[in-house]
Amino acid sequence: MAGCRAGENRLMTRQRGGPIVGAAGLGDDAMIRIGSLNAGGSVRRSLNIDFRLCAAEALIKIDASIETLAGLIRKAGAAGCDIAILPEDCLCTTGWTAASPSQAGEVLGPAVERLLAHLGETAAAHNMYVICCNDRMDDEGSIRNTAFFLGRDGRQIGHYDKVCFPVQEFLKVPGDSFPVFETPDLGTVGMLICYDMVFPETARCLALEGADIIFNPTVGGAAFGGAEISRAAFRTRAVENFTYIVVSWGGWGTDVGSVIISPKGEILAESLEPGGMAMVDIDPFGGRDNADWSNAQTDMRARLFRERRPETFAQLTQTTPKALEKLPEIQPFPPREIAAMVRRATTMGHVEYERAEQLLRDGETGQAVAAFEKLIEDYPSTWFDRTARKRLAELQDPEEDRR
């Protein structure tokens, strides 16, 4: 525990410059130091595996990635963290396996084995917990998106398979439950992966199972519409359940980051810097006192979970909600076809898009138009579709891109 660091009191700062950004509190035997790593932006680009590599080459690249990630974990260990967490798809394998689904097992099998072995050793060396997340191949040969929870001895305490997939992940196999894991010092631990957070049901299920902290490896946010509404949604997930939420971020952009949120929805620590870490000392068993005019509770869950009316919530578990009767079909195809199309977009789409842009830069307008039209046809409703339409509009009205 973080007790040996009594007297330290880092104030919360929100900055892009530093590697460690947090609000570590007064050292106290009940406090746990959490480090949530940011492996997005430039870090993620450095981990990327070119989809044209063969399996053996991909594994060499993955070995290097594991060393990079272990370095981040060591940094958290050196800072005295009791637990460190890495983001979703931490080995950045989704692009490669999208291009070579028939060889996914050849890479994912050894990749995840090596990841857990190496990070387990690092965890044990620092006597800390570690959470990491990546696609894995299960015993039936299906790909799952899984978060692993390693103990202070480096051994796996348990894992969580992502339950709520965005439509583009529908070729993977989802989990069917929200397990929680009891620990003596972190309290009851739950995990959610990325898109799970868009659905209030997921965090609620974990909270009702008793989760005190929810760890969230992710490459995305908690709501459609950008970083700002996403932060509002993360904070709401925390305060509606009175749980701590620890987000470790690993997306491609740079406008969002790793964040640690209190059971009152307060942002305790945040890191927007790739390679940085949000860090804070918390009491997983406390911080839940709250009140309204009429009443106060030491742990507000004692009220909220008794004020719920589960007997009136039948709609939540019905397979076909009534709303679907009036809603349009999913666009542009049935879900599994969208997933297959996006798998191609994730790999060849980038190459074809770059080629179209190069044609434009080279003044080969006719060929560029044809290339953009093909992107629209091949990757409907994706970013390529939208961007290609924009380019064609600009070509029709050259003033468009100056507006």
Question: Within 239-278, which residues bind a second copy (CB under 8 A)?
Answer: 239-240, 264-266
Half-sphere exposure of 202 (CA within 13 A, CB side): 24
Residue 326 dihedral angles phi and psi, to the nearest 5°: -110, -5
Interaction between residue 4 and a second copy (CB under 8 A):
no
Nearer CB in complex with a second copy: 70/233: 233
Name the burial class of residue 230, with classes exposed (0-12), middle (13-18) and buried (19+) by CB atoms within 10 angstroms of its CB: buried
Beta carbons within 8 Å of 203's beta carbon, 6+ residues apart? 192, 196, 197, 214, 237, 240, 241, 243, 245
Stretch that binds a second copy, among 75-83, 201-209, 365-373, 392-400 (CB under 8 A): 201-209
Q: What is the dihedral of CA 213, 214, 218, 222, to 10 degrees?
A: -110
Stretch that binds a second copy, among 117-125, 135-143, 152-160, 176-184 (CB under 8 A): 176-184
Nearer CB in complex with a second copy: 154/221: 221
Residue 43 CB, shortest distance to a second copy, in Å, is 19
> Which DSSP state fits 224?
S
SS3 369: helix
* Interface positions, 118-147, toward a second copy (CB under 8 A): none
Strand partners, 323: none
78, 229, 351, 393: residue in contact with a second copy (rule CB under 8 A): 229
* Interface positions, 340-399, toward a second copy (CB under 8 A): 342, 345-346, 381-383, 385-386
- Only one residue has tokens 């701590």, namely 244
Residue 147 CB, shortest distance to a second copy, in Å, is 16
One-letter amino acid for residue 388 of the chain: A
What would the x/- binding string for a second copy be over residues 316 to 345, using CB under 8 A? Answer: xxxx-xxxxxxxxxxx---x--x---x--x
- Beta-strand relationship, 277-282 and 32-37: antiparallel
Interaction between residue 205 and a second copy (CB under 8 A):
yes
Nearer CB in complex with a second copy: 140/329: 329
Cα 295 to chain centroid distance, Å, stands at 37
Interaction between residue 225 and a second copy (CB under 8 A):
yes
Nearer CB in complex with a second copy: 88/385: 385
| Count of residues touching a second copy (by CB under 8 A) | 91
* Interface positions, 47-86, toward a second copy (CB under 8 A): none
Nearer CB in complex with a second copy: 144/204: 204
- Nearest CA to 181 among 239, 129, 118? 129
